[in-house]
Amino acid sequence: MEELAGTAEAGRLVSRYSRTRVVEALRVVLADVRRALMEGDAGAAAREGWVLPSYLLTEAAGVLSAQDQPRLGRVLNATGVVVHTNLGRSLLAPTALERVVEVASHYSNLEYDLEAGTRGSRHEHVSGLLAELTGAEAALVVNNNAAATLLMLSALAAGREVIVSRGQLVEIGGSFRIPDIMRQSGARLVEVGTTNKTRSSDFERALSEETALLLRVHTSNFKMVGFTEEVSIAELAALGAPRGIPVADDLGSGALVRLPTFADEPAVSDSLRAGADLVTFSGDKLLGGPQAGLIVGGRIWVQELATHPLARAFRVDKMTLAALEGTLMLYRDPEKALESIPTLRFMSRGPAETERLAGDLKAVIEKKCGGLLELEVEASEAKAGGGALPLLELPSHAVALRIVEAGQPGVSELAAELRRAPLPVIARVSKAALHLDVAALRPEELELVADAVAWALSRVGREDIEPGRP
């Protein structure tokens, strides 16, 4: 270690990083080599020069540079899943992003009333816009829809009963389960109906002095077909309204516009018009904005939620509010929303457009990797996304990629290398082909995907490259 730390190359590393970090990196590298030697390949180690100072220092430089790469970073989404929860759900529209940069890099009137010169509310900035776009009296924004649901149950039903259909006691993923959230809030769950059929009369029989809320949950991630029956919001409202019991609708995705591709998705305004007192939905699913939980509805109910202590715990950051305001403003002109909100833009592409994009992608890959691959444009079924409408299929196209030479490594190895590329590409492997779906790619990203494919191809099957090492 002393010898290594005294070299000129180590000196260069110290001036760039710090002495502590360089010594630590050398320690890591030495430990690796020591382990490899103990495992018995001393001959290979000597032959390949593992034990030379130059090797050790180069490795240490690699470790240091890798440490300085951010862990959270951009990827290219070639999965064909538009609202992909693992890949960050929705992308912000350019104007929404501008709002974030402005608000995050300067002081703002976040909680300041410029008219009165006194303290204001952070919720004022978007609640008017949300009310305008959905027809609600009032609105409140929290961190995500899970928080919105927990806040609603805690504020309106703690220690009392909430009636829900058995067919809607869903798990949304990431351990969000309606019965668990209910328990957490202190509300008592009253299940009515059966798995496949619940009628208004089931709800009616369960009503009691203890009933605090009638809840409908959108079964976002599965569909029941066949012999089924659900209770509509209008029917719930007919039971609740005369008794002063609020009706809530956890919509999940909550569309503000209706695209042909998700025409069956209930719109937020439909729920309110049908009589829901509160509607909750996500900011980053079909809305195409930042992660947020949006709550809209009657003034008295929203007010109850806003003044509950959990509202403070779930309160949104200024960057979220800025992004949300920027996104919602686009909805005043639905055509503009379709054009500039990436989630909506992706979902409104027709097959002609995706076929053209896939053709362009095939051409750039051919140009960069000609000969090594067999490429084909194929029709595909893209998805809206796990967090939104997992069953909804969007007609799309993909470039199917097969490796030509026999004895070459398989496409799953290529997929793994694509994930390690300087700008990683997440693709889909099926039927011995790697599929690069264009549903969630922008035209200007096609070239970048092709670069990553060329990079990955240069690495598969090369045993001299250790996986994960640049």
Nearer to ligand PLP among residue 253 and residue 380 (C-beta):
253
29 or 164: CB nearest ligand PLP: 164
- CA distance linking residue 415 with residue 164, whole number of Å: 44
Q: Give me the least distance between CB of 172 and ligand PLP, in Å please.
A: 4
- Judge contact between 385 and 341, C-beta under 8 A: no
Write down the least CB distance from residue 64 to ligand PLP, Å.
37
423 in the Ramachandran plot: left (φ > 0), alpha (ψ -120 to 50) or beta?
Answer: beta
Does 168 help bind ligand PLP (rule: CB under 6 A)? Answer: no
Q: How far is the CB of 217 from ligand PLP (least distance, A)?
A: 5
Q: Are 435 and 349 in contact (CB under 8 A)?
A: no
DSSP E strand stretches across 278-365? 278-282, 293-297
In 10-95, at which residue ranges do the beta strands (DSSP E only) sit?
Answer: 76-77
Q: Which two tokens stand for residue 447?
A: 């070239």
Nearer to ligand PLP, 127 or 291 (CB): 291
Q: Which of 96, 80, 68, 25 has the alpha carbon at shortest distance from 288?
A: 96
CB atoms within 10 A of CB 466: 7
Q: Whose Cβ is closer to ligand PLP: residue 266's or residue 293's?
A: 293
Q: Which of 84, 122, 123, 218 binds ligand PLP (CB under 6 A)?
A: 218
Q: How far apart are CA 60 and CA 110, in angstroms?
A: 46
Backbone angles phi, psi at 368, to 5 degrees: -85, -25
Q: Which of 77, 127, 165, 220 binds ligand PLP (CB under 6 A)?
A: 220
Q: With H, G, I as helix, E, B as strand and everything else as coil, classify residue 187.
A: coil
Asked if 172 is part of the footprint of ligand PLP (rule: CB under 6 A), the reply reads yes
Position among 59, 250, 325, 355 found at the interface with ligand PLP (CB under 6 A): 250
What's the rounded Cα separation, in Å, for the pair 151 and 162? 14
Judge whether 217 and 168 are in contact, CB under 8 Å: yes
Residue with the shortest CB distance to ligand PLP: 252
268 binds ligand PLP, rule: CB under 6 A? no
Which of 167, 252, 288, 385: binder of ligand PLP (CB under 6 A)? 252
Tell me whether residue 220 or residue 380 sits nearer to ligand PLP (CB atom).
220
176 touches ligand PLP by CB under 6 A: yes
Min dist CB 323 to ligand PLP, Å, is 14
**Closer residue to ligand PLP (CB): 174 or 309:** 174
Count of residues engaged in binding ligand PLP, rule: CB under 6 A:
15
Q: Which of 240, 293, 326, 385 touches ligand PLP (CB under 6 A)?
A: 293
Q: Which of residues 373-432 bind ligand PLP (CB under 6 A)?
A: 387
Residue selected from 217, 231, 415, 441 as contacting ligand PLP according to rule CB under 6 A: 217
Q: For the segment 15-34, give every residue that binds ligand PLP (CB under 6 A).
A: none
Mapped onto helix, strand or coil, the DSSP state of residue 75 is coil
Q: Does 13 bind ligand PLP (CB under 6 A)?
A: no
**What is the C-alpha separation between 334 and 363, in angstroms, rounded?**
34
Contact indicator for 166, 198 with CB cutoff of 8 Å: yes
Of 61-69, 216-224, 312-320, 336-344, the window that binds ligand PLP (rule: CB under 6 A) is 216-224
Residue 282 as a binder of ligand PLP (CB under 6 A): the answer is: yes
- Record the tokens describing residue 303, joined without a space: 């007010």
User: By C-beta, is 255 or 373 nearer to ligand PLP?
Assistant: 255
Cα–Cα distance for residue pair 231/369, rounded to 1 Å: 56
Concatenated DSSP letters for 226-265? SS-B---HHHHHHHHGGGT--EEEEEET-BSS--GGGTTS
Closest contact distance (angstroms) between CB of 147 and ligand PLP is: 7
State the Cα–Cα distance between residues 161 and 188, nearest whole angstrom. 5
3-class secondary structure, 257: coil
Nearer to ligand PLP, 252 or 266 (CB): 252
CA 16 to chain CA mean position, Å:
36
Stretch that binds ligand PLP, among 100-108, 215-223, 261-269, 312-320 (CB under 6 A): 215-223
Contact in structure between 136 and 295 (CB atoms under 8 Å): no
Nearer to ligand PLP, 122 or 218 (CB): 218
**Residues 135 to 164: which contact ligand PLP by CB under 6 A?**
144-146, 149
Q: Is 90 helix (H, G, I), strand (E, B) or coil?
A: coil
Q: Can you tell me which residue has the tokens 């993909």? A: 398
Q: Is the Cβ of residue 328 or residue 400 nearer to ligand PLP in the bound state?
A: 328
Reduced to 3 states, what is the DSSP secondary structure of residue 140?
strand
**Tokens (6 digits) for 391:** 């069953």
Q: Based on CB atoms, which residue is closest to ligand PLP, 297 or 349? A: 297
How big is the CA angle at 388 (ends 386 and 394), to the nearest 5 degrees?
80
Kindly state whether residue 235 participates in binding ligand PLP, applying the rule CB under 6 A: no
Binding-site ranges for ligand PLP (CB under 6 A): 144-146, 149, 172, 176, 217-218, 220, 250, 252-253, 282, 293, 387
